[in-house]
Structure 1
């Protein structure tokens, strides 16, 4: 599985001058089927395009947590209206949404002759555009009959060079590595003290497990997994990653404390933390593709029907050691014991 798509980036830049703007229509937030994966790849592309001298802006809807996070990353955020396109020297509109964009925005883009590009994971055959990138393992030829250029499959998965450079480290991690990563200025990275007496071995030979379920974890998999781990009483060294949209009213701290887990909130970079794990627990979205690209041992748990299909495809191709199509506490514990025999 290769992980870069210079073709897509170059297509976005077709005919674009330094005074032109590439717009991204994207949403993020704590909502079923949305989370932060769409925004993450738009942020990545936006940064790369700006480094190449092209102006960018994000057109985002009314989910305040996603908008706030995008602005905290230095992005210019505007409402998703035709006026935003008309007031700027727009050249390209990139749409990265799990649903169709506003009809008036599409009409304005087409009337202005903008290059229209989609980042799509769902195979919506009615999409009419110049370019579509669908890096899903479920993408198939002929999926987009109304698209001029379709870039399909995991070989087009978007991943920045600094993350791909971690591949060698992830595959040959030294046993003495310690989980950790730099955090955003307003992030909190806090080891949680154990809630019950324990005497971990010295040196600590317990399997290092990192769990992360997206930017907001709208289906609550973090709490479900922690509760299952507490009941199973497996000897693990556990790190819990909470994304920027994780709800503060969802109290996972008591469970994390009981498990002597380290909790890291909104890390600036996720993958260096994952690379120090013996096992990653994640959903069936972007993080699964990243873990596969880096050769990390992963147990994926679907949070949506589409993720269940993705996980099934990874399993069928032998690219994933274990995966669950839906949350099942008994099956989860049995699977975890199987792929972590030392536990």
Structure 2
């Protein structure tokens, strides 16, 4: 049995996106008979529960992320488990760490977003962003196999299955979906939820999907109870495919969720909440299926609410956005392609 180690972290501060996109590929690898082990210096109870539910192991390595102790423990785990390959995803891993991981002899798959960090020391590089093919990976990862562009967006099995089912027409999608990822590090969910509820048009239902790693879960559940509008908060939803299928508009943080929304052809207002999300969000907006707004400034909440209400009140615009999404080169098989590329180098 082939063992693959995954080195990624999650916390309220750094979010859960690194782990979740690795998990999408890990699901495929496990389905092909591989044993998967996550090695983490930081995690959250919600992420631990997700990994356990997927039948995936998790060990903790000493922090801080990317230091010598982390590397030593990760290399020890590779030896102990006899891992043939390792996926690494995160911004805290410097040149020495990556070189040390490559020197272990395992096949290295590195996730990247901006090509603005140290050399990747990888056999494979994955960046599913629209602009990825223009980035200097020939310099950062000479000789590596490059898995670039939207064909390599890693969709979870749940989303792949939902995308294959018929979806209701736009006129019947009465839900406005609000989601800021697994932890919402900027704390935007509550203020934006209040703003949307105050401006909500007749017949619009607002659903906020909140990750279990969000430290404000209790406050958000209480807020939903106090609001008079039809507002619901779901924590760690296990039905995101169905939720997206019924959404006439999504207000979402950039990152992994934006690919899922595109596959599900949901008109979307992308909110940039981290610097690394800006290029991919702008690239997606240029394709016409979404719009993007900066969520990092002091006036972010009113800007987000105003843009969302403008889109909701323009069903023709949202239908056109959905049509643009359906024309994208997305077939839901990105995670499968990544897994196949990783395993093909082991044969």
TM-score (norm 1): 0.76
2:293 is matched with 324
Partners of 1:66 and 1:79 in 2: how far apart?
15
Q: C-alpha displacement at 1:293, in angstroms?
A: 1.9
Greater mean deviation of Cα atoms: 135-144 or 219-228: 135-144
Closer/same/farther in 2, CA of residues 300 and 260 from structure 1, 3 Å limit: same
* Alignment gaps of 5+ in structure 1: 1-17, 178-206
Q: Report if the CA contact (8 A) 1:29-1:65 is conserved.
A: no
Question: Where in structure 2 are there 5+ consecutive unaligned residues?
Answer: 62-72, 316-347
Tell me how far 1:167 sits from its aligned partner: 2.9
Match of 1:238 among 206, 219, 233: 206
Q: Could you tell me how far 1:66 is from its partner in structure 2? A: 6.0
1:47 paired with 2:39, answer no
Q: CA deviation at 1:160?
A: 4.0
Q: Does 1:75 align with 2:56?
A: yes
| Aligned-pair CA distance for 1:267 | 1.5
1:278–1:117 distance in 2 versus 1, CA, 3 Å: same
Provide the C-alpha distance between the structure 2 equivalents of 1:252 and 1:119, rounded to a whole number of angstroms: 32
Decide whether the 8 Å contact of 2:175 with 2:205 is kept in 1.
Answer: yes
Task: Name the stretch that deviates more: 166-175 or 235-244.
Answer: 166-175
Is contact 2:109–2:124 with CA below 8 Å preserved after alignment? Answer: yes
8 Å contact from structure 2 (residues 102, 122) kept in 1: no
Q: Distance in 2 between matches of 1:85 and 1:102?
A: 19
Shift of 1:151: 1.3
Structure 1 residue 38, shift from structure 2 partner? 1.4
Say whether 1:337 aligns with 2:313: no
Is the 8 Å Cα contact of residues 171 and 296 (structure 1) preserved in structure 2?
A: no
RMSD: 2.6
Q: Which stretch shows the higher mean deviation, 40-49 or 96-105?
A: 96-105
Equivalent runs, 1:299-310 vs 2, <5 Å: 299-310=269-280
Relative to the length of structure 2, the TM-score reads 0.75
Distance in 1 between residues matched to 2:165 and 2:146, nearest whole Å: 33
Q: Distance in 1 between matches of 2:43 and 2:163?
A: 34
CA distance in 2, matches of 1:333, 1:67: 30
> Which position in structure 2 is the counterpart of 1:194?
none
Deviation string 1:180-208 (CA, Å, 9 cap, x unpaired) is xxxxxxxxxxxxxxxxxxxxxxxxxxx32
1:249 to 1:266, Cα distance in 2 relative to 1, 3 A: closer
2:323 — aligned with what?
none
Structure 1 position 218 matched with structure 2 position 185 = yes
Equivalenced residue count is 292
Kindly state the Cα deviation for residue 119 of structure 1 after the two structures are TM-superposed.
Answer: 1.5
Q: Secondary structure at the match of 1:24?
A: strand
Contact 1:170 1:295 in 2 (8 A): no
1:241-256 mapped onto 2 (5 Å cutoff): 241-248=209-216, 251-256=219-224
